[in-house]
């Protein structure tokens, strides 16, 4: 089936404990609407090194080192997840509900989701989704491990339905461009519209969040901070 067209209805900018009420208003106003909460991962090893060496050195040679394969969270990144957990707690206490958790198959995104979405982690279905991973290409921090390896870290996550195979076929010599990333994000949102879930938590990455939401109509969205939670209501349009 061809991808449906999706547009941004609203990014929720009110206080977090008001998100459930506002989301209910927006969801009730249209028949084909969904609430999506996207969380950027906590600080990873690659984030620290990139900041220390600068963009030129990082993009030139440093990012190609095997050391950064599927870069995990550092201790500070783990600590940052507590802020995300408190936000999810506040949403639940205000009457918010969720149907599923989707995660990028990169380890730092799943680490963040497990800690930050802890109040609902054991209560909801959890799926790794290849199409919502970070901008891919020749950067080792964006290369994922085999699904067998990742499954050993996170056996509670389903890697069987929405992955492109055992090995990472997305890693290669050419980096995905921002327009290509935006188109992939639009396809991801179109896929969400065909899913059975109405309120979805997504654990993923900064560039994916920013460029995907811009692609469906946000006038501007800065790159989110580590563990920042971005809430949007989207709808299918004819």
Q: Answer whether residue 162 shows pLDDT above 90.
A: yes
What is the tens place of the pLDDT at every residue in 190-237? Answer: 999 999 999 999 999 999 999 999 999 988 778 899 999 999 999 999
Mean pLDDT, to the nearest integer, of 63-72?
Answer: 89
Cβ-contact 224, 206 below 8 angstroms: yes
pLDDT of residue 2: 52
- Across the strands, what pairs with 103? 128, 203
- Per-residue pLDDT, averaged over 22-44, amounts to 96
Q: Please, what's the b/e burial string for 46-74 (b: 16 or more CB within 10 A of its CB; e: otherwise)?
A: bbebbeeeeeeebeeebbeeeebbbbbbb
pTM equals 0.94
Strand ranges, E, within the chain: 5-11, 33-40, 100-103, 126-129, 158-162, 199-204, 229-237
């Amino acid at each position: 089936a061809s991808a449906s067209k999706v547009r941004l209805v609203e990014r929720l900018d009110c206080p977090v404990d008001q998100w459930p009420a506002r989301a209910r208003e927006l969801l009730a106003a249209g028949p084909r609407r969904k609430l999506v909460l996207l969380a950027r991962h906590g600080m990873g090893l690659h984030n620290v090194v990139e900041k220390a060496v600068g963009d030129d050195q990082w993009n030139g040679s440093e990012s190609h080192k095997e050391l950064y394969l599927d870069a995990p969270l550092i201790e500070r990144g783990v600590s940052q997840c507590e802020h995300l957990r408190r936000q999810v707690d506040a949403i639940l206490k205000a009457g918010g509900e969720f149907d599923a958790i989707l995660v990028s198959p990169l380890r730092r995104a799943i680490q963040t989701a497990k800690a930050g979405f802890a109040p609902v982690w054991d209560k909801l279905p959890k799926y790794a989704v290849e199409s919502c991973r970070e901008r891919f290409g020749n950067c080792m921090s964006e290369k994922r491990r085999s699904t067998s390896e990742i499954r050993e870290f996170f056996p509670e996550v389903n890697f069987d339905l929405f992955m492109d195979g055992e090995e990472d076929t997305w890693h290669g010599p050419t980096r995905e461009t921002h327009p290509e990333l935006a188109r992939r994000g639009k396809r991801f949102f179109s896929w969400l519209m065909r899913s059975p879930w109405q309120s979805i938590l997504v654990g993923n990455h900064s560039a994916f969040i920013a460029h995907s939401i811009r692609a469906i109509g946000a006038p501007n969205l800065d790159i989110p901070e580590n563990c920042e939670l971005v809430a949007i209501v989207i709808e299918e349009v004819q």
